[in-house]
Amino acid sequence: MHGNEVLGRELLLKLADYLCDQYNAGDEEVMRLVNLSRIHLLPSMNPDGWQIATDTGGQDYLIGRSNNHSVDLNRNFPDLDRIMFGNEESHIEHNNHLLEQVDRLSEPIQPETRAVMRLIMSVPFVLSANLHGGDLVANYPYDTSRSGAMTEYTSSPDDQTFKHLALSYANLHKSMSSPDRKGCGYDGYNFGKQRGITNGAAWYSVQGGMQDFNYLSSNDFEITLELGCDKYPSQDVLEKEWEDNKEALMHYMWQVMCGSVWTYVRTTRRHSYTTCGSLINKMCVGAVQVHIGVKGQVKDAETGKPLANAVIHVKNVTGGRDDDIQHDVTSGALERTLMVLHVSLAVHDGDYWRLLTPGKYVITAYRDDYRPMSVRVTVVNQPHQEAPRVDFDLTPVVSRGKVKVDANGPFR
């Protein structure tokens, strides 16, 4: 999304080639990943910025960062963090899908931003990564500080899950988590001294970023990957960069297996499977991480019909806790076929995915006009195994059974 941060673009193009080549060569792991998930790769969100950076040699730290209208796209998304923080302060229970609460914008939405927002809201992504350059670290929500401070650790309700996702990438990268590597930036700080990860707001607070927008507007969990000190590396280091990132990219996609992932890369469900994620340069992948937590379907107990827009709420009861995770997800909204970027995507009512770290949880599904249903589950998260399935059959508050009449009056 920053046109002068080009390594992510090249890695995603290479990843696409790698997945196709290995699939055709019969690589069992790649075939399983591709067959069980839909992977969305968006190599460039800011082609104009990339062209400007390339035409000027790519060595300036800022030239090409913004789009052709001189707007930083990673400050251009609706600021849902402020809405979330306001809801918390006012004890308003609304903690997800907050786009409907936006009543004003600080600046016009750019065409590139609008296109990505449309994609986020149209496809049921579960996991994604946003690829940047200029440092070497996996960054996780929140990106915006609660108090307005420039640097302040600001945890999301899913702080432990986001740490897990960030570490899953940093630990598999060849040097991201190394405390002995050379640092980046004017101060030369090495994030490897903190395991190669950082809370976004603890690093520096950002408003209007894409990472938090994904989390607060949809069911998607996104982290930001800073892939290296050099924003515009030379061609002769690209093979090494691929080898440094390949295992981490593959493992990250596995987190959402049976789901959709996008990476800017993005992934969506394929057939009856999950939408894991994406990578944007951005990547979304349906892979290992979406295989963490639980998945399932919500149905009407009487008709068997899948139920859209049911709320999935989670309480962490590990070790005697009784902690509500104040970020709900919802079941699939519509049973239809979407045409996204000329690709047909099957989206089914009632499907849901909830990323969770290992532990004991009480998961509750509820929807208007239905009685809530709760299930106690233990999450283990075995490597490269699909997430356990937890289905919900919700009973209508008013039964739709046929009314029979006899001499004593109606009965069901």
Q: How far is Cα 214 from Cα 42, in angstroms, rounded to an integer?
A: 15
Distance (Å, whole) CA 349 – CA 165: 27
Catalytic residues: 226
For residues 357 and 262, give the distance between their C-alpha atoms in angstroms, rounded to a whole number.
Answer: 21
Cis omega (within 30 of 0) on the bond before 189?
Answer: no
Identity (one letter) of the amino acid at 144? T
Q: Hunting for tokens 């295992």 — which residue is that?
A: 247
Query: Of 117, 126, 161, whose CA–CA distance to 37 is shortest?
Result: 126
272 CB burial (10 A radius; 0-12, 13-18, 19+) = exposed
Contact 22, 34 (CB under 8 A): no
Question: The tokens 């994620």 sit on which residue?
Answer: 277
Which residues does residue 279 pair with via DSSP β-bridges, in sequence order? 41, 283
**Residue 174, CA distances (Å) to 177, 240, 369 in order:** 8, 10, 52
β-strand 294-300 against 392-394: which pairing, if any? parallel
Instruction: Quote the CA–CA distance of 134 and 233 in Å, as a whole number.
Output: 10
Given strand 323-330, what is the order of strands in its sheet? 323-330, 311-316, 359-366, 373-379
Look up residue 37 and give its two tokens: 């998930």
**Ramachandran bin of 70, using left for φ above 0, alpha for ψ from -120 to 50, beta for the remaining angles:** left
Distance CA 86, CA 101 (A): 11
